[in-house]
Structure 1
């Protein structure tokens, strides 16, 4: 015993920290160190990443290539089917996009000249052909449409969705409108003429939910918006599609010339207002689309003609400028058909059904239809604004 009667400290007591667990050999056996594999077994399994969505664009020109390239950038698997010269360039170099003079390139999963080579299956099949090719396209689409595939009509004009529904009554269908000005400058190369605009989407089939696609398109950099009534959406887009289109094509003059001429602008205004009256009779709302404020345009077009021209000519002329419209391209390529039946012709047809006079649209549609079949008819009006003015003047006074 040590002096003072105190027991000698055990050496282990000095090594133990205050509050520490007792040494393993004093009170319990040592705990085995957990193995890495045991730790992994206790962890909950991580859900597998969802596979990328698969998109097919049929008739991929400017519209399909822009949508496809952006979706591919956002991680989707994209297949483009279009003209051989275009898809060959895309397969080699990707989709070349020109924005404000800057060029970028985006590869896609596949670019093919025919649907037979497209593969599949696809989550979404988007139709981007001209309206006059819709019926032929429907027959070919049977190769790639499967249960669960959603078909989208990304086409200008009126009547495409109705034609698809009539031919494929059980097909899940949505409608889309691109409001970004884009052109196909050469095979493999598209040009965006403005950063404005975006995408409008609406279900045609009641079971289609467009919300997931809207989110996906926003992830791809688009200003995407959903609508409940596809007809209101498509007709509101038509109000812009017919501006500076038919007269420019017939006269072989740029839209800026049409908007700057007071009498020609008056006929543009008249054709526009005929379409809005038809929409009212059909009980369709005029809705704003991304970058296209249709209600504001309607209010401006309701002003007296000269005041409306003063307000709108700088905007409309500046937006279209010397870029020739879609109907001019149809005529100049000598295809023997134009999309006029889906634009001005759609206004005339609906006007007949709802008892709305449409004299200006009727004259423009008739000239365009005749010009596609008889090149000499187009020659009568090319660079001859006075001849067209006289005809439209007479039509408005009848």
Structure 2
């Protein structure tokens, strides 16, 4: 039980992350309401929310002091202290509209917990500047069944960041710490948080989905590993043009990824980066691939590889690898491109990327490793304000 006064918490989006948040806050004695599908609501009503800690086999702990509803409309006009949106990025727009239409009020800014970049900006445009807080979670977890989540690793943590001056980031972070969340940090720039997590998300996800293979299978093909490194290098180039600094996240040193990808030769950087990522992900099928297998028409690739492509175009940075990954995976999801054209055919994907490179007539990334090393050191020592 928390030592502070219980607060009213609303979790919209009852997947693995939503269940994890709801469980922790309910366990700490807060008044938690979760919005989920009918099967989820039924599971909560029958046995409560369950969580299996990493390393504890299949032994689950349950908390029953939770309200679960299948329709957000049942909460019309109500007020909450904390509202967290945990659905996929492409569903946030509709959720925000529904919250506004129903007159659901919140004391602290909306807490957004999505992969990819650009969601906070969208919410700020739709509501008001400072309407949202950024939350990045680097804990690996799996939804075993409705309302039961398993933590796959003890590593990782949570990072909260403001989207406007004066937001109560430390106050919200304190609430998370008191509720039992481990390794809770804050940072002053939500863009650095989102783009740093994006570098992790870019490692293999879209390629595994397009080729319908597991990450370990993909990592055995050096050509595909090189493609992954190139997609990261494109994102890093866009970050630099936008003035977004990479930062270390709990268990994922994104700033080190940047150093390795830019300074070390590819044959040395690739295995180190993959080892760092695999430490948390293992052989787990990426969420974006799972969604494609379920037949979903929209995927998080829009705010991942698609964001790199879009921001790159705006900033004048060529992004041929991310262009192809985004267009191909989106096309497969919509049904415009038969999945069998790429399933198990890495040569087909590599050829598409090469064609895009020629189309852009992209010049080599200038500077070389020595200039990249100097740029990094100059920034770290304060000699240069841009990295």
Query: Aligning the two structures, in what range does the TM-score lie when normalised by the shorter sequence?
Result: 0.7 to 0.9
Deviation (angstroms), 1:364: 0.4
Cα deviation for residue 103 of structure 1 reads 1.7
1:344–1:54 Cα change, 3 Å: same
Partner of 1:270: 230
Q: Which runs of 5+ in 2 are unaligned?
A: 362-387
CA contact (8 A) 2:130 2:167 kept: no
Structure 1 partner of 2:134: 175
- 2:166 is the alignment partner of 1:212: no
Q: Does 1:347 align with 2:308?
A: yes
Q: Which residue of 1 aligns with 2:153?
A: 194
Partner Cα separation in structure 1 for residue 103 and residue 174 of structure 2: 24
Tell me which structure has the larger Cα radius of gyration.
1
Instruction: State the Cα deviation string for residues 146-195 of structure 1 (Å, max 9, x = none).
Output: 26343111111111111111110166321111111112121121111111
CA distance in 1, matches of 2:87, 2:274: 31
User: How much does 1:211 deviate?
Assistant: 0.6
- How far apart are the structure 2 equivalents of 1:216 and 1:144? 25
Aligned residue among 112, 116, 124 for 2:69: 112
Equivalent residue, structure 1, for 2:45: 91
Q: Number of matched residues? A: 350
SS of 1:361's partner is helix
In the alignment, does 2:25 pair up with 1:71?
Answer: yes
Give unpaired runs (5+ residues) of structure 1: 1-48
CA contact (8 A) 1:262 1:306 kept: no
Residues 299-350 of structure 1 deviation map (CA, whole Å, 9 limit, x = unaligned): 2223212112332344434543331112212211112111111000100111
Measured in 2, the distance between the counterparts of 1:160 and 1:107 equals 32
**Alignment correspondent of 1:42:** none
| Range that drifts further, 91-100 or 208-217 | 91-100
Residues 79 and 108, structure 1, Cα contact 8 Å, conserved in 2: no
- Considering only aligned residues, what root-mean-square deviation do their CA atoms show, in Å? 1.9
Contact 1:254/1:322 (8 A) holds in 2 = yes
The alpha-carbon deviation at position 107 of structure 1 amounts to: 2.5
Inter-partner Cα distance in structure 1 for 2:336 and 2:37:
26
Q: Which residue of the partner structure matches residue 253 of structure 2?
A: 293
Distance in 1 between the 2:255 and 2:64 partners?
Answer: 38
The 3-state SS of whatever aligns with 1:200 is strand
Q: Which residue of 1 aligns with 2:98?
A: 140
SS in 1 for 2:45: helix
Contact 1:126 1:152 in 2 (8 A): yes
Counterpart Cα distance in 1 of 2:41 and 2:252? 31
**Matching residue of 1:307:** 268
